[in-house]
Amino acid sequence: MSEVVETVQEGLAAGMSKAAAAGTPVRVGTLLCGMRMFDRVREAADLAVAYRDAGVVGFDIAGAEDGFPPADHLAAFEHLRRESVPFTIHAGEAHGLPSIHQALQVCGAQRLGHGVRITEDIVDGKLGRLAGWVRDRRIPLEMCPTSNLQTGCAASIAEHPITALKDLGFRVTLNTDNRLVSGTTMTREMSLLVEEAGWTVEDLRTVTVNAVKSAFIPFDERRALIEDVVLPGYAAAL
């Protein structure tokens, strides 16, 4: 697996160098991903630690959520925490609040993949203890509207919880999940929210800033991206 990581990082470094030379610099960081239904999660976590100074910025665990709780791989997450490597856990999509609780309170995730079912802890706008924890501690929710429609977590883009959670002050971010399987792009996801959920440019700016704030890169880099790239770009669109 290490050879694959090295090859990918070399390719990304070459791409970033070429983009910079063309006057359109980009910042790319890699998350190494372990599949929760297999037994190689710790191996992937070890690689995240080994390559954290070579382009790898964090770790992710994905795959079938229901029946494969994140705590099955607690040793991997404890290792990442000891080594100060941030990680996100896919939780709160196919399985509900217990999955979110375990990802955060047992495993120590800094972000949640999807997290859409945190709405089960919100009644008439009132947040339960877990929902309050997620919002108040600014836990990023990596939300994927099109993917959630395909998996049955939402009936439509208009009814997708991303809008209500944004309005309640959660740190929601907009993502594609798997672009090939879902047949989508970030542009398409943004367009759908504008066309079907009534989002404005200001809403898109909010979730974009949320995403950069939540990136697994140093604070000064995040601030520079927001101040020098994101905000001026949106200002030009208004």
List, by residue number, the catalytic residues: 93
Q: What angle do CA 178, 193, 177 make, to 5 degrees?
A: 10
- Check the CA dihedral 164-190-220-32 and report its sign: positive
Strands 56-62 and 87-91: parallel
End-to-end CA distance of the chain: give it in Å, rounded: 46
Reported as type and span, the H/E element at residue 82 is helix 74-82
What is the spatial distance between Cα 92 and Cα 62, in angstroms, rounded to a whole number? 12
Residues 6+ apart with CB under 8 A from 159: none
